[in-house]
Chain A
Amino acid sequence: MSASLTLVVLMAVMYGTGVYVMLEKSLTRILIGFLLVGNATNLLIFIMSGRSGTSPIIDDGVTGADIVDPVPQVLMLTAIVINFGITAFILALIYRSWWLSNLGDEGDDVIADEDDEEAREADQAEIFHTSLEDDDEAVRTVLEEGGDADDDDGVPHTREPSEQERDVMR
């Protein structure tokens, strides 16, 4: 097999850095590491196609000996698409875990309040239950008392009173 040395070196570097970055704690770095290693793997597949050649389109005068092996390119393409989808999911996961660690579950209540109109319509369509509505009601009153609550300062406002509310409900 004849493979381009540049590609091999590039692949090795990407594998190395990718694995290194993947070992970090932060999810974002893990994602970057995954991207590097994933693309290094794509390069590996590409290298496995052997020597270079013309594009694999059979035309007049082009024989099998001239063209490059198309199969690895197909495999690569599929792998790239899969990596893309998984990357999107991990990004969502990262965002969600950032959300949870910075705002906690109370953050959801602020958002839930905004969605309330829609949610209550759904309620009437049998999905939600009175207790949930009570919770929402409680959160809403708290939010109204606490004045404006955007994501940044909304947390302390909602957290304390909602606990009180729960106590009251008990």
Chain B
Amino acid sequence: MNALVPLLVIIPLVGAAITLILGRYPRVQIVISVTALTAVTAAAGALLAVVDSTGNPIVVKVGGWEPPFGIVLVVDRLSAIMVLVSSLMLLGVLIFAVGQGIADRDRDTPVSIFHPTYLILAAGLFDAFIAGDLFNMYVGFEMLLAASYVLLTLGGTGSRIRAGTTYVVVSLVSSLLFIGAIALIYGATGTVTMALLSERIRALPLEVQMILCAALLIGFAVKAAVFPLSFWLPDSYPTAPAPVTAVFAGLLTKVGVYAIIRTDKLLFFDVPLTVPLLIVGGLTMLIGILGALAQADVKRLLSFTLVSHIGYMIFGVAIGTELATGATIYYIVHHITVQTALFLVVGLIERTGGSTSITKLGGLLKKAPYVAVLFFIGALNLGGIPPFSGFLGKVGLFEAGAASPSPLVYVLIGAGAVTSLLTLYALMRVWNMAFWRPKKDVEGYESPMIESLQESPDAVNGTATGVATANRTSVLMVGATTGLVALTVCLTVFAGPLFALADRAAGNVATPDSYVESVFPNGTGEPGSGDAGSTDSGGTP
């Protein structure tokens, strides 16, 4: 079983290397990357099953070096859940991308680059999830960020370069903050292994802990797009190709949230973060959703709802009880799937309607009833309408909040409810404009559809093969989207077992000692003597 853990990172990396070499054979590339991600999904599923049945994290010492000298990879329930969900998303979106032909048809996107970059993104993501030390987590972050820079600027068109510049510069600053924080933590404790840090940070004075915690949190908050640091997200995500946006929206911000949970629960559980996180979480929710209300472009609108819903997760982290952490984990899983699915649906809308602006769209219910159904389910789900997982996740969070009451928590519950309603309002506006109103009501209606059909090669070709390809690709796209939407529905149907799993994962997370014990079965032998006297003072020189 232990061998599966490094494979999570190795398989995508090897896949990336092969697809890079085989850049001239797009079909082979597709086969390889789909195979690689399927294998990772299977491995992640197996790992989750094992970790959940034994209850103990799986620890792998890379290269046989004992921690804290070597790198450890740790898969506990939380990591396994995150890896499984993200590999499913990556697979679904990859199939969508293949269908859309981003990888092999669009002249604006370099043919050979998409698959290797995508797989490196996957590898970085998994590495960040299973990293047992802070520095390895940093490396994972850098891998996925570097890949995301490339994916965001695919094709190098003017708008993407402009959006990419903002994204790259902001990400760079957050990375520098992260590595700086790691340096300070190393200075204060003499280690970067999280299990050992968990013990040593406890021994530091509270003020030093707070400085270190703030330094790390700011770095992560930029990545997770938490309110004052979220300005970059709605600017940069919408310009990318639809599948890329879907992956970024679903996964990249959640890595930041995952890192916040990890460090908050494992390293800095003594630091009183509740109040600041509650405030920040509430502002993230409200300001994000108010931004969404003002948007006419569906992609931008969804980017703002993405920011806003990060607030719920921060809310859950802020409450900090085991119950709240469980609800947060469930909410993360829900939000990853539903947000990815919705962005894919927008990809379909763009394809069938020829635009993503609700002022130009109309009559889609008639034109593409199936897409309309997919969008409707996703919208209700994200908005938190009762039978769906969005509702269950929010109820879980509110319950957890009510279980540890304080005035601020009640304010946040109110803010959460308002945000949920406003989300529904924003999405229903899209529904009314794009799907429900008749096509002829659209201002300046001159059918961009026909134009795009004329420009579409297959239509011009009119040959049998051309038509066949068009059908096949759209089947793949719709199929992938349907799969993800079905997955969000499954989150509702199997909410009972999933919530139980999330609670068990939260149980893991809430007891850092069990994490430490699994990495150091014989105790940590505190404090280390060979660390060259670097344990004796606070980090700032």
Contact = CB atoms under 8 A, between A and B. Distances in A.
Interface of A: 1-3, 8, 22, 27, 30, 34, 37-38, 41, 44-45, 47-51, 53, 64, 67-69, 71-72, 75, 78-79, 82, 85-86, 89-90, 93, 96-97, 100, 104-105, 127-132
The residue in B105, B184, B186, B530 that gathers the most chain A C-beta atoms within 10 A of its C-beta is B186
Contacts of B461: 129-130
Nearest to B185: A48
Contacts of A93: 149, 153, 161, 164-165, 168
A53 B139 contact: no
B409 to A, nearest CB: 37
Contacts of A41: 176, 179-180, 183
Contacts of B180: 41, 44
15 contacts: A8-B541, A37-B176, A38-B176, A50-B187, A69-B190, A71-B186, A86-B146, A93-B153, A96-B156, A100-B156, A127-B107, A129-B460, A130-B461, A131-B460, A132-B457
Contact of A89 (B149, B529, B533): B149
A68 B461 CA distance: 70
Contacts of A22: 169, 173
A132 B532 contact: no
Interface string B515-541: 000000000000001111110110101
Contact of B534 (A50, A75, A104): A50
B150 A50 contact: no
Contact of B183 (A34, A45, A100, A130): A45
Nearest to A67: B532
Contact of A27 (B165, B173, B532): B165
Shortest beta-carbon contacts, A-B, top 3: A129-B457, A48-B187, A69-B532
Contact of B532 (A8, A49, A127, A129): A49
B182 interface: yes
Interface string B183-205: 11011001010000000000000
Contacts of B192: 71, 75
Contacts of A47: 187, 541
Given A3-B541, A64-B530, A131-B460, A45 B172 contact: no
Given A53-B532, A69-B531, A48 B158 contact: no
A96 B165 CA distance: 11
Contacts, number: 117
B161 A96 contact: yes
A55 to B, nearest CB: 13
Nearest to A88: B146
Nearest to B150: A89
Contact of A97 (B161, B169, B173): B161
A137 B533 CA distance: 71
Number of contact residues on B: which range applies? 35 or more
Nearest to B139: A78
B443 interface: no
A97 B166 CA distance: 12
A130 to B, nearest CB: 6
Nearest to B162: A97
B503 interface: no
A49 B457 CA distance: 61
B150 A100 contact: no
Nearest to A3: B541
Given A1-B541, A82-B139, 12 more contacts: A1-B536, A41-B183, A44-B183, A45-B179, A45-B183, A45-B186, A48-B183, A64-B532, A96-B153, A129-B460, A130-B461, A132-B107
Contacts of A2: 533
B456 to A, nearest CB: 8
B176 A97 contact: no
A45 B176 CA distance: 12
